[in-house]
Structures are given as C-alpha cells and as structure tokens.
Amino acid sequence: MPTAQSFAVIGAGILGAAVAAELLRRYPSAQVALFEKEHRVAAHQSSHNSGVVHAGLYYKPGSLKAKLCRRGVDLIKNYCAEKALPYERCGKLVVALDEAEEQRLNAIHATALANGVPEVSMLGPAGLREIEPNATGRAALHSPHTAIVDYAAVTQALVGDVQRAGGVLRTGCTVDRIEDRDDVALLHTSAGEFRVERVISCAGAQSDRLARASGAGNQPRIVPFFGQYFLLEEQHRQILNGLVYPVPDPRYPFLGVHLTKRVDGSMTIGPNAFLSLSREKYSGLGLDPKDLIATLGNAGFWRFSAANASAAIRELRSVASRGFFVDQAARYVPSLAGASITPLPRGIRAQAMDARGKLLDDFALDRSERVLHVRNAPSPGATSSLAMAEHLVSLLD
C-alpha cells in the first residue's frame, strides 16, 4: 500500500469516477476528492458516445488496450447487474461487402480469437441473415457478447459510490495546474489551493493542457474530432436485433458509418468523423477560437491532414449530406434507403496525436513522483474504464 492517504482525481467522467471509486475500495480510510470543472458529472465524452461495450475484436493482442478491454467488459457487466443499470447483450456483426473486405475480416477474426473474445464466429450470407434478417453482405464476423449500456448512468452510479464511501465531489472547480513538490502535490484551482499526497488526472479533452501546465511533456497533443450520430425514424426501431459495423479500411483513420442500437430501443446511424472546431462545444458550429488556434498551430495536425486527405473528403461528404450518410448505411441494410434521420447531439473525441501526426492507438500515461496524467484513453476507453482504474491505482504501489 502506498504511504499516501490523500488523493485527488481530476475529471468526473467515467474514468475519473472509476478511479476515485477504486481508490476508496482499496484504501477505505483515505481522503479522496474528485474535481470536475463542469457543474455536473459525465458532461463530455462519457455522455456523448455510442454506449457500446466493445468485446475486443480489433486490438493488437497483448496490448494494454486489448487486456483492459477484455477485463473491462466483465467489470462493466457485473457493475451494471449490481446497480440494476441497463445492460443489453445485443451482439454485433462486422459485415464485409466484397472479397477484399472479407480478407480483412478474416484477420480481425484471428485477432479476436487471440484476444479471447468469446464465441466469435465467421458467417456467410445465410448465417448473416439468420442473425440480422434485414442485413446483407458477403460475409460477417459475429460477436454475440457485444453489449450496450448507458455510460452516463454508470458514471453517476460510480460517483454515488464515491460519495457514500466518504469521498468528496467538487464540481464547478477547474484545476489549472499541479505542482509536484517533495512532500505534497499542490493543486492550483479556481476554488483555491488543495494539498494532497497523490494525484491521478483523467482530464479528457483537456489532458494535454493540464499536463503541460503541470510540467509534463509537450507531446502528445489533443486534436478534437466530432462524430455526428443520427436517429432513425420510429418505423426503423426494430430493423436490427443488434449492431452492424463495417470492416475497418486501413486507408482511413476512423471506422465509418455503422448502425447502433441504444438501451432506450432507438436505432442510430453514425458517426462521421471530422475535425471539430472546439474540444467541448456540441451545438451549432461548435467554435472555440482558443481550441481551433491550438489545432491549427499544431504541426502534427498538418502532417496528419496531408496523409489523410482522401479520408477527409469522404468524411466531408457525410457531414454535408444526410442522404450520403443514409446511403452508406443502406449498403448494409438495404431497406433503409431513403430513410429520414434526425441529428442527435454530437460527440467529440479527444484524440491524442504525436508530433509526427500519428494518432495514438493505445493508452498513454505521464508519471512523476506524485502525479499520474492519463494523456490518451482511446476507444474502447469507456468499456475499459473500470479495468483502467484498477491499472492506474496499482501504479501507485
């Protein structure tokens, strides 16, 4: 056990809430304070996401990402059962439309097996239709254990656990920087200074700024990308039993349009992925001049843009035309052709990018004597949150 008995956790999204709860589970007598700059918890990525509990199909075997995803699935499922939170094991099909996609799908199948994903199987057109009668394709990978939840509700439940265990939630309190001194970590906040013995920062879209202000390295930098989901009209709520995804295309950095069921029974298509003009604004243009200047002043972003021009053109079409968006979904579910869709509040992905313009694919941390910064928590970050909390707290030993 670490000698520290006072902890601060920065950020009351699902990861920060999980870390605070894990600290109090391991060290019940410790003082734990959870800081959140907004006036509510789960204000950003934790309430602006697909709600999918990913099974671990795509991630490099042996990577931290793969290990934490598989552990995270079990922890989220058990936690939802304990708290009577919605958890629906609806299953997922990753659908190949042509021979090249089928070859890539076979590789994904091998990765899923290496990661220990249970009961995954390859299906032909007939098997695909048995699972999803309204879908079509050349082949599909079936992941029956992929599930959906409400991550905002999970976050709220975790914060409730923290408070019942004696932890303190400080909302509306911005942490500007953290001083790592010999004897204490000093938090400089909008509500004054706070002294604790250890800090874990889960600052999401602001993680790079807080890390740099606290003396950590300049890289990686956060570049925000928005993802727009659309709600299908009522008549299409039952068009699928579960989730239908495309086969990832290695030419593009993001997955592409897929169909996602939600725990309230609604059916969505999305998301697209395009540069966001802010890190945390979800309506209208979503413009924050400070955020946009930071992105445009990042040399890594321009290197990324030059390498992904074709992807940007594809995504721009999906941003500009709802018809194009629906057409992409109808490639997998033909009866959706011409369907009406309604935009949902967009999400913004806090994507860490290195100086070469490469998107970081795994979790990234910065450590000093008393402070641990989470610099990147990519998808499946929400799925992995409870497992990641275990991992982060174990690093304090």
Residue type, 305: S
Nearest to 239 by CA among 329, 333, 124: 333
pLDDT computed for residue 308 by the predictor:
87
Please tell me the predicted confidence (pLDDT) of residue 76: 98
Cβ atoms within 10 Å, residue 164: 10
The residues pairing with 359 across neighbouring beta strands, listed in sequence order, are 353
What tens-digit pLDDT sequence spans the chain (397 residues)?
445 599 999 999 999 999 999 999 999 999 999 999 999 999 999 999 999 999 999 999 999 999 999 999 999 999 999 999 999 999 999 999 999 999 999 999 999 999 999 999 999 999 999 999 999 999 999 999 999 999 999 999 999 999 999 999 999 999 999 999 989 999 999 999 999 999 999 999 999 999 999 999 999 999 999 988 999 999 999 999 999 999 998 876 678 889 999 999 999 998 888 899 999 999 888 999 999 999 999 999 999 999 988 777 777 777 778 888 899 999 999 999 999 999 998 899 999 999 999 999 899 999 999 999 999 998 899 999 999 999 999 999 7
**Alpha carbon distance 181, 9 (integer Å):** 17
DSSP helix, strand, coil percent of the chain (3-state; round to 5): 35, 25, 40
* pLDDT tens column, 31-63: 999 999 999 999 999 999 999 999 999 999 999
pLDDT at residue number 273:
84
Q: Which residues contact 183 (CB under 8 A, 6 or more apart)?
A: none
User: Which residues neighbour 337 within 8 Å (Cβ) at sequence distance 6 or greater?
Assistant: 326, 327, 330
Q: Are strands 31-36 and 121-123 parallel, antiparallel or unpaired?
A: unpaired
CB of 34 closer than 8 Å to CB of 167: yes
Beta bridge partners of 367: 372
Residues 6+ apart with CB under 8 A from 25: 165
pLDDT digit string, tens, across residues 290-309: 999 999 999 999 999 999 88
Q: Which residue has the tokens 């939600």?
A: 262
Can you give the pLDDT at residue 4?
56
- For residue 4, the SS3 value is coil
Tokens linked to 85: 């939170």
Alpha helices in the chain (DSSP H): 14-26, 64-83, 99-114, 125-131, 151-164, 207-213, 289-296, 299-307, 309-320, 322-330, 385-394
- Residue 1 has a pLDDT of 42
